Structure 1
Amino acid sequence: MPEAPNEFAASPNGDKWYLEHNETANQHTVIHRANDASGGTVTRWPISSFLEHFGDHPQGQALREALHDAGSAEQEVPSEHTPVVQKLVTSFPWSRKTQHVED
């Protein structure tokens, strides 16, 4: 049974991203909920696909932080995917906090 999804990022326009963990399947999924003006569409992504498409975006960086906080970053990013080089994030209104990730 899936646990309640945890919000890890939100944009000023109302889009929200959640991390959902299904303990039975031992699987994490990223959920994107578009803002109401865009129809509120919900999209689900495997973590590796989400990072492949949005890894260098603020929501990708926020996901990495959420995974790190959950202690599962090593398990969730498959080795066949090259991680995106992270940069200094000074301030994005939808990221949880300012961070500096070393190369």
Structure 2
Amino acid sequence: MENIREFATSTNGDRWFLGIDQLTNKEVVVHLGNPSSGGHETITSVASFLNQRPLGPEHKALDMLLADRRATEGQVTPAKPV
């Protein structure tokens, strides 16, 4: 897994990350369950994750992360004055 970025944590300790699967070179969501529930890890495609129902705060957090990224893609950073 490459370029891993945590985007949500639940009150019970579950954590969600966005990363790049090295085999497919596609973005995936990694869910790491809290230690008391066994700490199991699941990997899901972004599309499948966003289509899960019911939607939770982790879905909204990923949606916001992706929207922020889309908003900044293609923006030109102004040159610093000399």
RMSD of aligned Cα (Å): 2.3
Counterparts of 1:10-29 in structure 2 under 5 Å? 10-22=9-21, 25-29=24-28
Q: Does 1:50 align with 2:49?
A: yes
Distance 1:40 1:24, change over 3 A: closer
Letter of the 1:52 counterpart:
N
Structure 2: 5+ residue runs without aligned partners?
A: 72-82
Instruction: State TM-score, norm by structure 2.
Output: 0.73
Report the identity percentage: 37
Counterparts of 1:63-102 in structure 2 under 5 Å? 63-71=62-70
Letter of the 2:19 counterpart:
E
* Stretches of 4+ aligned residues off by more than 4 angstroms: 22-26
In 2, Cα distance between the equivalents of 1:23 and 1:42? 16
Q: Say which SS state the counterpart of residue 4 (structure 1) adopts.
A: strand
Q: Which has the larger radius of gyration?
A: 2
Contact in 2 for aligned 1:54/1:60 (Cα 8 Å): no
